[in-house]
Structure 1
């Protein structure tokens, strides 16, 4: 009897140890899986569907607030820009702040004036031609990392009873997401805020080209 009890105790103990090790292994694997970063293939073209419309709807609201801090959430990230431009242009960080954000702030004010100082405007959607999108290969346009580029995405809105639209000059991709990189036209003759291609109706997206 003593032998049987002892053997049963040892068997139970071994089983508990095994179960504990299995549980620990599963926990560690789950933690490692949740902690591991997800890497979107940079060459995968982002969607032109609901996700883009949602981002542009948020951006339209940011324009209405004339909030640079809010609008920067849909603007191309500084860290990504520095990664793309390091070794290709002098002082990418300064170029980002002085040129990209500088123009973006000026354009944001111009769009706010055009869209919201003459009455309320209601966002209706985007007008985009996916065929205008192009993959910009590494090494092109002074970039060390490739990305997708789509020009002339139009923000369609209603002002009073009139449907109008304006263009967002240039969106580029990073990790599967579209970001504004030029709001007004690029290049431009003068260092002033400029609304790109305002039009009655939905307008015509594009044209294709640029980077």
Structure 2
């Protein structure tokens, strides 16, 4: 299937995401932030980086990029959308996901291999995993602390919408150790760690992140 990967000014993981999409068995289609259409893609990845220099707030300017209008519309109709790191921030700013990502608790940029537990293996992006499966991918962020009011957190927990949770010491102060969440329909997923950096043994901590890119075809064509 065709998976669009959006490049914003300041994106730096778009090429990595395209490669992960291809390794996962899909066709990667580059999309530009100024595009007003999605070029017939079946799914979209919003990659990590520092879109628009993270001015104002991370993702706050990107939500107004022309490409986000068709993405928001398509997501509402069920198109799978994955936001990684800065992409997660953009999804929250676009109100496709609740909550916000703020400065890390210790006010320092974190870059390390990170253990996660998959909490929801029923989304469009996690069906290759099993509930409770532990994986290791790359984490790198300065504003990766997920926050929301208690009612929202309780709703995410109660509806099974926490996709992944940090294991071990909390790396950035995210509430309830949340590393990723999904919308009610399960087609939109935001993830702070970087699965695209864990799809090959040669260039990462292993291949644990590959499931995020193979899940898509399994779900759509199963």
TM-score normalized by structure 1?
Answer: 0.26
Q: Which has the higher helix share?
A: 1
State the structure with more CA Rg: 1
TM-score normalized by structure 2?
Answer: 0.25
